[in-house]
Amino acid sequence: MANLSGPYFLITIVVLAILVILLVITGEQMKTRPSGWAFLAFPLIVAGIVFGEDRLIGYGLIGAGVLLAFIDIIVRYRNQKLPK
């Protein structure tokens, strides 16, 4: 199990909170909002980093997050290329 009392866990939580606050504040000004795939990928990657002490779980979560990010990139690319 990961050591959740370390300073890295606290730093990760603070950085995530700041990112969420910035996304909420600037969300109205953004031309394109992150898709649902991106919202799923980001926490998986962060969870993989946090729980990286157990390599199977850590790498599995990071791999799942990267896979979802690639799916998001492909879906957005195909949507841009479709004729209207």
**What would the two tokens of residue 53 be?**
């002490």
- For 34-63, what is the mean pLDDT? 85
DSSP label of 54: S
**What would the two tokens of residue 10 be?**
């606290």
Report the pLDDT value the prediction gives residue 63, as an integer from 0 to 100.
92
Q: Which of 41, 39, 34 has its CA nearest to residue 61?
A: 41
**What would the two tokens of residue 46 be?**
């962060």
**pLDDT, mean over the chain:** 79
pTM attached to this predicted model: 0.59
The distance of Cα 82 from the centroid of its chain, to the nearest Å, equals 27
- For 1-9, what is the mean pLDDT? 63
- For 14-42, what is the mean pLDDT? 76
